[in-house]
Chains A and B, each alone.
Chain A
């Protein structure tokens, strides 16, 4: 990871926990309590082993002390299809992906992995609010340059990017995707990046321990 020089973070969407609307869990608390009672019985789909959607769930499992059953799929699309078809009980995915299905009443959002609530889903709490601050996860997009890029070049890239992100057209395009812009540069981005890398490294280590048992 030290082969990169950060330029800027553009967006960071927390994943959202959704369950089929016909499932009994009305809140994240119901879900976690039930998962505690029936370890390894509640299943979730993911985009693939160690994929983003898998890691989000693993972080939750460890934060809440529950054990869920993992059914990996070949991508975020098939993982969504699986929960809509009722083949699994839960899914963590980006807000833009699940929003249309929440609106149509097929899926119920329980909680989000962000440090604050998602603007499009103001009534959905975060796991942090529910007392699981370690369940924090984002699907984020940022730009990097190769390590050793001269500082003037990096500065130019940062300035250009800041201007580009501020463009009205870019904002409109991101709005269409329901992906809020979360622009961070310099120290702020570095801090975000370091925290994310640490969370993920811990998460992967915990999964590894579970699976080699």
Chain B
């Protein structure tokens, strides 16, 4: 403990030196930009800037790249809340309630809660990273394909909590998403599936074009399709800050999101995306007023936004403690360390204390920088909503197309986004929710890969899922959740979903 604190003091002396501070700041600014731009995610941002760090020393390079990563989680919420366009995959959930809040004139509050939640989660999870990295990293490695599969199945159950109305419609949408997620090269055999001869579909349907199309474009089309354009919500200054009630309602979700995000973030794989989904589901399940979700529940912003930030720190645990990449982003950062002559591995903390502790301390500093950077920007961003729709929407459309094209330089991605926009519009008109499609597209390839890897490990025996303690536990939890949701069928009482559907029916009647 004392040793940790004295090491941390050394770390701060590194982190607060003007040059390191500058690179942390630069990373945070770039990260925020990367997060705000739809399409360009943290992976693209880090990969693009990697060559620019070759001239720096290792600590500076790592501090800057990490800044981009967690900075993107702050920025990602902005467009989700203001325009229903996820800046990157982990902020898909924020689109639902964040945007609903903005429509009610609470955009400022949503942005502020997202920033503060991200700050709390970012800071607390660094504390956890500092004290728990070595033991947790060993645990994380025990997550092989069977465990991952069980976790993803739990993620699929989350679908049940994502829609307000008909469960049947939600499941139909999820199935559509899972089907879309099957497109692309079969990772086990190398066959092209459902690609119809289009080489570009080999990598599958990207999450970003689907999410931007279904959420952002569909919203724009729906607004344009109304006979009378909706009133412009002019934010007033005193409405920028969250009310006392909103603070109170987001305190627990931020706390839970932090813990959850960190734990899920540690697990190898692209787990940080799932963390925001799971957090949303948990908040809805625990909420006293689950009916508010989807209509601007502040907990639906606070939880997922904290979780995705906390997950970034979690992802650094296996990377720093064991030199093992827990996902594509830490993998790029490990490559960066190797370029700088730092050999990542279990001996990193011992051999390179300055780098490790400087890195940790810079994350504390970086989170403060991001909070200072983002809170004043709330006022600026909110003013975007003052722009009249005929000017605002075409510009957003241009940004979406540019952003989606820029990621892979692929016109096919742009077409996918446009097709998804049209599909999203039709589905909205028919009262289908589109969030389960996005979740399906994200989960399908991951679940399939994990399932088939597990079966390859066990030579085709399904017992592998029950023979391994972690996966067996996770599957049991899932089973209990399913049984709980069946309870109303047996006791014939209405659960909140049924009550909500009835309430909504009544509202629709004149």
Contacts and interface: CB of A to CB of B under 8 A. Distances in A.
B188 to A, nearest CB: 6
Contact of A49 (B187, B334, B341, B457): B187
A85 B142 contact: yes
Given A71-B456, A176-B338, A78 B347 contact: no
Chain B CB within 10 Å, residue with most, of A69, A75, A78: A78
Interface in B287-345: 318, 322-326, 328, 331, 334, 338-341, 343-345
Given A82-B145, A86-B142, 8 more contacts: A43-B456, A48-B187, A49-B188, A77-B334, A82-B144, A100-B344, A101-B323, A176-B340
A48 B339 CA distance: 24
B224 interface: no
A146 interface: no
A72 B347 contact: no
A100 B190 contact: no
B192 interface: no
Nearest to A106: B346
A201 B322 CA distance: 36
B190 A177 contact: no
A73 to B, nearest CB: 7
A176 B341 CA distance: 4
A96 B334 CA distance: 12
Interface in A54-81: 69-75, 77-78, 80-81
B340 A85 contact: no
B368 interface: no
Q: By DSSP majority rule, is chain A's interface helix, strand, loop, or mixed?
A: mixed
Contacts of B190: 49-50
Given A81-B268, A81-B325, A85-B143, A74 B449 contact: yes
Given A49-B189, A77-B331, A87 B457 contact: yes
Contacts of A103: 345, 347
Nearest to B340: A176
A81 B453 contact: no
Contacts of B331: 75, 77
A2 interface: no
B326 A81 contact: yes
B141 A81 contact: yes
Contacts of B457: 43, 69, 71, 87-88
A73 B346 CA distance: 22
18 contacts: A40-B459, A41-B459, A43-B457, A49-B187, A71-B453, A71-B456, A72-B188, A74-B449, A77-B324, A81-B141, A81-B318, A81-B324, A100-B343, A100-B344, A101-B346, A104-B345, A104-B347, A177-B339
Contact of B187 (A74, A80, A84, A104): A74
A118 interface: no
A166 to B, nearest CB: 19
A73 B453 contact: yes
A173 interface: yes
Interface of B: 141-145, 187-190, 268-269, 318, 322-326, 328, 331, 334, 338-341, 343-347, 449, 453, 456-457, 459
B356 to A, nearest CB: 15
Contacts of A177: 338-339
A85 B189 CA distance: 24
B456 A70 contact: yes
Contacts of A211: 189
Interface in A136-176: 173, 176
A49 B189 CA distance: 6
A176 B456 contact: no
B60 to A, nearest CB: 16
Contacts of B324: 77, 80-81, 84
A18 interface: no
Contacts of B326: 81
B144 A87 contact: yes
B370 to A, nearest CB: 27
A84 B340 CA distance: 24
Contacts of B187: 48-49, 72, 74
Nearest to B325: A77
Band of interface residues on A: 35 or more
Nearest to B343: A100
A106 B328 CA distance: 23
Q: Which 6 A-B pairs have the closest CB atoms?
A: A100-B345, A176-B341, A87-B144, A85-B141, A77-B325, A77-B331
Contact of B338 (A75, A88, A96, A101): A96
A75 B334 CA distance: 14
Contacts of B144: 82, 85-87
Chain B CB within 10 Å, residue with most, of A48, A82, A85, A99: A85
Contacts of B341: 176
Contacts of A71: 145, 453, 456-457
A87 B324 CA distance: 14
B355 to A, nearest CB: 14
A41 B188 CA distance: 18
A106 B143 CA distance: 17
Contacts of B344: 100
Contacts of B323: 100-101
Nearest to B324: A81
Nearest to A100: B345
A99 B409 CA distance: 36
A43 B145 CA distance: 13
A81 B142 CA distance: 10
B418 to A, nearest CB: 28
Contacts of A49: 187-190
Contacts of A78: 268-269, 325
Given A43-B456, A71-B453, A176-B338, A84 B141 contact: yes
A173 B338 CA distance: 10
Contacts of B459: 40-41, 69
Contacts of B334: 77
A8 B183 CA distance: 38
Nearest to A212: B189
A177 B336 CA distance: 10
B492 to A, nearest CB: 46
Interface in A72-126: 72-75, 77-78, 80-82, 84-88, 96, 99-101, 103-104, 106
A150 to B, nearest CB: 29
A178 B140 CA distance: 28
B188 A99 contact: no
Contacts of A40: 459
Nearest to B137: A84
Nearest to B58: A176
